Amino acid sequence: MAVTASIRESSAAVVRASLTGGKRDVKGMLFAAALLLCLLTAMFTLTILLWDVVAQAIPVFQKRSTGFLTNDLASSPDKAGVSQGIWGSLVIAGFVVLLAFPVGIAAGVYLEEYAKPGRLTSFIQLNIRNLAGVPSVVYGILGLVVFVQGLERFTGGRSVISAGITLAILVMPIIIITTAESVRAVPSGLREAGYGVGGTRWETTRHHVLPYAAPGILTGTMLAVARALGEAAPLLLIGAITGRLASPEGQTVVERLQGKFTAMPIIIYGWSNEVNKPGKITGLTFEDLTSAAIVVLLVIVLVLNAAAILLRNRFEKRRQS
Amino acid sequence: MNTSKRRLVLASFVSLGLILTACGDDEGASEATDAPTTEAAGESTTTAAGEESTTTAAGGEIAGGEVFVTGSSTVEPISVLVGELADELSGGSLAVTVEGPGTGDGFKKFCAGEADISDASRKIKDEEAASCAEAGVEFVEIEVAIDGLTVATSPNNAAVTCLDIPALYSLVGPESEGFAKWSDAQALATEVGTTSAAFPDADLTVTGPGPESGTYDTFVEFAIKGLAEERGKEDTARSDYTQSPNDNLIVEGIEGSDSSLGWVGYAFFAAEADRMKAIEIDAGDGCVAPTEETIADGSYPFSRSLYIYVSTTALAENPAVGSFVDIYLSADGLAKVSEAGYVDLPADRIAASTAAWDAAKA
C-alpha cells in the first residue's frame, strides 16, 4: 500500500510542477500542519491525563505490591484493594461475551444478509442506531426494574448477574451496528462468487462473508467490552457496593454471582469520595488508590483489546493468504 | 477441513484464556480473604485486651450471618470500621456489607426491606417513617456519633472569620439567588439582622453538597430554616451554587477561590484543615470555631447527631443483625467513631443509645 501511494504522489508532483511552474503548495502545507496540530493536541491531553494518573499510582504499586490487587475493599488505604472490583468487572465482561456477542453479531448479520430491504428493516435499523445513543442511566433503570426487581428469583436482586445482563444489553446495539457495517463492506463479488458455484445463503455467509467481515466485527466487540467495563452509572442504579463488601464463608460461585457485588468503575467512584487521610503504615491516601484503580481498569481494558487485536490480525492474515 | 481445525484451535484458545483469567482471579479472591485476617491478627494484639470485654459486654456469643448496611455516606466510614471489627471478632462468620448512597436513598432501600440497617446523618423524616410503616418495616433509632457541620472558606480569605445565622441566610438562603459578590448580600443581611462584620467586596463562589445529602438538609435546618419560615420563603438553599455529592470536590471548590464559601462534614474539614479555613459560627452566644471540644459539648451551634436505624423486623429473622449492633455499641465499636474522624458521644447519650437498643432487643 505504502509503495503505491508514494508512486502516486511522486507522479502527481511531476505533473503539478509542469502545470504550476514549480510553485510551492502553501495551502496544502498549511492543511497538513493544521492536521498535525490537531493530532498533537489530542495526544498531548491524553499524555498529561495518563501521566497524572500513572505518576500518582506508582507509589501505590511500590508500597502495596500485589496486596492492592488481591485485597478486598477496606476502611484504610493501607489495606484496601481491588480484587472484588476485578472479579465483578471480569464477570460483567463475561456476560457481555456470552450474551451480547452471539446475539449482537447474529442480529447484525441477519439485518444485512437475510432481512429483505424495506420499510420495516430500515425502521428497525434506525431504532437500533437510536438505542446506541440512549444514555446509560436509562439502561440502568431498565436493569433495576426488569432484572433487579422483576427477575429477582433468578438474578438474586442487586447482583452481578443483573449488572452483567444490563451491560450486555447496553452494548448490544454497538455490536449490531458494527457487525452490519462490516458485513455491508464485504465486496458483493465475494458473495456472487459463492452463489456462482452453487453455495446456499448459509454457506456463502459462513465461508465468504463472515471471514471477510471478521476484523470489523472484532473491532466492534472490542469497543463494546471496553464500554461495558467503563460504565458506572447503570451499576450505581443496580446497586454496586462502595464501602465494604463481605464475602460470607463457604459461599458457592452461584451464591457469589447472585450476591452483592462491586466493579472497578464503582470502586474508583467510591474511593474518590473518601476522606483523604493518609494510612498509618504506607502513608497512601484514597486519592492515590483511586489513581491505582484507574490504572488497573486501563490495564484490564488494554489486555482484552490486545487479545482482540491478536485475533483480528489472525483473521486478516488468513484473508490475505 | 484445515480451516475449520484452525478455527477450533482458535476457539479453544479463547475459552482457555477466559477460564485462565477466571481461575486466576479466584485465586486472587481467596488470597484476599486471607490477607486481611493476617493483617487483622497483627492488629488484634493491640485490641486483644478489649476484645474479651466486647464479647461479654455484647451479651455472649456472636451470631454468624449476613448484615447489609446502607444509608449516609457520612456515617459509612464508621460502619465499615465496625464491619471490619465484626469480621475480626467473629473470625469471618459475621459478614457485614456496607454502602453509602446517601441518607435519603438509604431510607428508601431500608423501608423497602432491602437493608437491615440504614446509616443516617439526620433523623428520619415523617414521610420516610410512613413508607417504612406502610411496608411493615419496624425500626429503632440509635445515636452513634456527633459530627460538626463546618462552614469553610479559603485560607486566603482574611476578610471573613465569623458569620452569624442571618449572614449565612443572606449568602446561601433562598433569597440570595443571583448574588455574585459577598457585598451583594449586605442589604439583605442587614435587613434580617446580622451582627457580623461587613461583607467584603469579593466574588462569592459557593460550593456544597446537593439536596440528596443529609449534610445539605442539616445545613438548611441550622442556617436557613428559621429565617425562611419567618419570612415566608421556602426552606431550601439557593439553587445557583456548585453542588456535588463528592466531598473532595467540595473541598476543591472551597480551596479553589480566594473568596469561596462552602460547607462539609467536620471529618472532611479535619482531614484537609490546611486547605480550608473554618468560619466561626455565631448563634447568639459569640463566635465559636468547630473543634472536637466545642462540637462534643454542644457549644458549637452546627453540630448534628449521626444515627443508625436498625430494622427490628430484620432483627427478628436474622440474629447477625443483633450481634453487629451489639459490637457497634461496645466500647471497641464506639472507638471507631473517633477513628473515622467524628466526635464521640458523651457518656449519658451513649447510655441512652444502649438503653434504646436494649429495649428494642427485648
| Residue-wise pLDDT tens digits, B241-250 | 988 888 888 9
| pLDDT reported for residue A117 | 87
Which H or E run contains B310? strand B303-311
| pLDDT reported for residue B40 | 39
**Is B15 a residue whose pLDDT tops 70?**
no
Closest CA to B289 of B177, B202, B163, B122: B163
Query: Domain map of chain A by residue range?
Result: 69-320
| pLDDT reported for residue B234 | 86
In angstroms, rounded to a whole number, what is the distance separating the alpha carbons of residues B345 and A311? 61
Percent of chain B with pLDDT over 70: 83
Average pLDDT over residues B320-343: 90
| pLDDT reported for residue A128 | 94
Task: Give the A:B interface size as CB pairs under 8 Å.
Answer: 122
In angstroms, rounded to a whole number, what is the distance separating the alpha carbons of residues B301 and B221? 12
Cβ–Cβ contact A145 with B under 8 A: no
Closest CA to B35 of A197, A81, A86, A256: A81
Q: With contacts defined as CB-CB under 8 Å, which chain B residues touch A212?
A: none
**Is B8 a residue whose pLDDT tops 70?**
no
**Is B326 a residue whose pLDDT tops 90?**
yes
Cβ distance A243 to B79 less than 8 Å, yes or no, reads yes
Low-confidence residues of chain A, pLDDT below 50? none
Among A229, A273, A314, A317, the strongest candidate for a mutation testing the B interface, having the largest count of B CBs within 10 A, is A273
| pLDDT reported for residue A2 | 55
In angstroms, rounded to a whole number, what is the distance separating the alpha carbons of residues B267 and B272? 9
Among B14, B80, B109, the strongest candidate for a mutation testing the A interface, having the largest count of A CBs within 10 A, is B80
pLDDT tens, B262-313? 998 888 888 888 889 999 998 888 899 998 888 888 889 888 889 999 999 9
| pLDDT reported for residue B339 | 86
Q: Which residue of A has its CA nearest to B7?
A: A315
| pLDDT reported for residue B43 | 38
| Architecture in CATH for domain A69-320 | Orthogonal Bundle (1.10)
In angstroms, rounded to a whole number, what is the distance separating the alpha carbons of residues B130 and B127? 5
Q: Which residue of A has its CA nearest to B271?
A: A277
Q: Is the ipTM of this complex over 0.85?
A: no
| pLDDT reported for residue B350 | 92
| pLDDT reported for residue A171 | 95
- pTM score over 0.80: no
> Residue B350 corresponds to which cell in the numbers above?
451513649
| pLDDT reported for residue B177 | 87
Among B6, B9, B21, B94, the strongest candidate for a mutation testing the A interface, having the largest count of A CBs within 10 A, is B21
CATH 3.40.190.10 domain locations along chain B: 57-145+305-361, 148-303
Q: Cell 449482537: give the residue.
A: A104
More confident residue, B57 or A17: A17
| pLDDT reported for residue A11 | 83
Closest CA to A190 of A166, A172, A178, A206: A206
Cβ distance B97 to A260 less than 8 Å, yes or no, reads yes
| pLDDT reported for residue B57 | 42
- Domain B57-145+305-361, what fold? D-Maltodextrin-Binding Protein; domain 2 (3.40.190)
Q: Which residue of A has its CA nearest to B275?
A: A276
The class level of CATH for B148-303 reads alpha beta
Cβ distance B36 to A272 less than 8 Å, yes or no, reads no
**Is B37 a residue whose pLDDT tops 60?**
no
Q: With contacts defined as CB-CB under 8 Å, which chain B residues touch A249?
A: 64, 92-93, 95
| pLDDT reported for residue B70 | 94
At residue B278, the 3 state secondary structure works out as: strand
Question: For residue B10, what pLDDT band results from cuts at 50, 70 and 90?
Answer: very low
In angstroms, rounded to a whole number, what is the distance separating the alpha carbons of residues A144 and A235? 9
| pLDDT reported for residue B44 | 38
CA distance A140 to chain B (A): 15
DSSP state of B175: G
